[in-house]
């Protein structure tokens, strides 16, 4: 991307996709990032969650954009006597298409994924498949709205999520952006090109195959938090987030009973508790 012949093309791709590739659509795009969030469940388990993301766009001759994104997650839990670890690898592949109306764009993805305590287990036991569709309507340089649908075949069954959101640059310093019910941010620029801060909402439901093929872990993540973005350079961003976890912590279920969790000395539900997240991103 640093070669002159590729630089312009990549920049166009990033601008075209910045509000469609991720559920957190916005006026920028992280082409590589990693972060780790941590919290202590009141019932006793210490939890760490590592995320690594990479994104590769390619502008086609038609003007549409093909892209691939790689996502890795590793969830670790432990208490005084027990521990568990669950991982996932996701490889969304998609296309953004300019529709006949120049204000409208459509983004579609297919989302293969493996998730479980043992990613080397039989493929059919850890494999999930999903899809994502999003229409984005640009009313002006400062405002656009979007709507769509997310689907994933989770270990607890078919999971559908209607999507609706906006990206609104209210002033030169204040922006609202996101796609509900998955994420939303209110961001204020404290120091231009250096420091942003604001409030954030995040909700994400996912599942991992358990230690045996008859169980799975369901994780209903729901967070309200504040955030600070520090631009070390124009493209390198270090960020920190802190707030409260209000969702359901990772819980263990049997395949035959997807509504009531199994009693576990490690995977227990906890009420609202503090959470902290920190990371780095290469941002355009």
Is a pLDDT exceeding 90 seen at residue 160? yes
Is a pLDDT exceeding 70 seen at residue 17? no
| Average pLDDT in the chain | 90
- Residues 231-282 have pLDDT tens digits of 999 999 999 999 999 999 999 999 998 989 999 999 999 889 999 999 999 9
**Per-residue confidence (pLDDT) for residue 98, from 0 to 100:** 93
Is a pLDDT exceeding 80 seen at residue 22? no
Map residue 241 onto helix, strand or coil. Answer: strand
Is a pLDDT exceeding 70 seen at residue 13? no
Overall average pLDDT of the 192-199 stretch: 97
Contact 163, 134 (CB under 8 A): yes
187 bridge partner residues: 175, 198
**Per-residue confidence (pLDDT) for residue 27, from 0 to 100:** 56
Q: Write down the pTM of the prediction.
A: 0.88
- Kindly state the tokens that stand for 69: 């994104």
* Number of Cβ within a 10 Å radius of residue 190: 12
Is a pLDDT exceeding 60 seen at residue 133? yes
**Residue whose C-alpha is closest to residue 111's, from 125, 95, 131:** 131
Is a pLDDT exceeding 90 seen at residue 23? no
Overall average pLDDT of the 212-235 stretch: 96
Indicate which CATH number applies to the domain containing 155: 2.40.160
Number of compact structural domains in the chain = 1
Residues 175 and 63: their CA atoms lie apart, in Å, by 28
**Per-residue confidence (pLDDT) for residue 158, from 0 to 100:** 97
Task: Name the residue range of residue 264's domain.
Answer: 4-283
> Nearest 5°: phi and psi at 282?
-95, 110
**Residue whose C-alpha is closest to residue 19's, from 162, 166, 198:** 166
Overall average pLDDT of the 105-122 stretch: 97
First to last CA, the chain: 12
> Nearest 5°: phi and psi at 81?
-125, -15
Of 28-32, 69-73, 266-270, which range is least confident?
28-32
**Per-residue confidence (pLDDT) for residue 29, from 0 to 100:** 83
Which of the two residues, 176 and 25, has the higher pLDDT score? 176
Contact 25, 178 (CB under 8 A): yes
Return the percentage of the chain with pLDDT > 90, whole number. Answer: 84
Continuous segment of H or E residues that includes residue 244: strand 236-245
Query: What Rg value do the Cα atoms of the chain yield, rounded?
Result: 19
């Amino acid at each position: 991307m640093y070669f002159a012949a590729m630089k312009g093309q990549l920049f166009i791709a990033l601008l075209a996709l910045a509000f469609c590739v991720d559920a957190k659509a916005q006026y920028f795009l992280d082409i590589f990032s990693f972060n780790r969030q941590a919290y202590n469940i009141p019932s006793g388990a210490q939890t760490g969650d590592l995320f690594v993301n990479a994104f590769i766009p390619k502008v086609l001759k038609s003007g549409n954009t093909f892209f691939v994104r790689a996502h890795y997650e590793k969830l670790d839990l432990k208490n005084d006597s027990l521990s568990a670890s669950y991982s996932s690898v996701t490889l969304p592949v998609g296309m953004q298409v300019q529709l006949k109306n120049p204000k409208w764009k459509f983004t579609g993805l297919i989302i293969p994924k493996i998730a479980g305590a043992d990613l080397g287990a039989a493929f059919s036991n850890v494999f999930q498949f999903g899809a994502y569709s999003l229409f984005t309507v640009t009313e002006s340089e400062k405002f656009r709205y979007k709507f769509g649908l997310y689907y994933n075949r989770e270990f607890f069954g078919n999971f559908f999520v209607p999507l609706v959101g906006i990206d609104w640059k209210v002033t030169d310093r204040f922006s609202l952006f996101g796609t509900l019910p998955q994420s939303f941010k209110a961001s204020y620029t404290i120091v231009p090109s250096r420091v942003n801060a604001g409030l954030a909402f995040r909700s994400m439901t996912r599942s991992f195959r358990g230690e045996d093929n008859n169980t799975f872990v369901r994780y209903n993540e729901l967070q309200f938090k504040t955030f600070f973005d520090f631009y070390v350079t124009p493209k390198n961003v270090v960020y920190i987030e802190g707030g409260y976890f209000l969702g359901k912590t990772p819980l263990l279920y049997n395949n035959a009973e997807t509504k009531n969790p199994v009693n576990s000395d490690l995977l227990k539900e906890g009420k609202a508790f503090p959470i902290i997240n920190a990371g780095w991103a290469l941002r355009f």
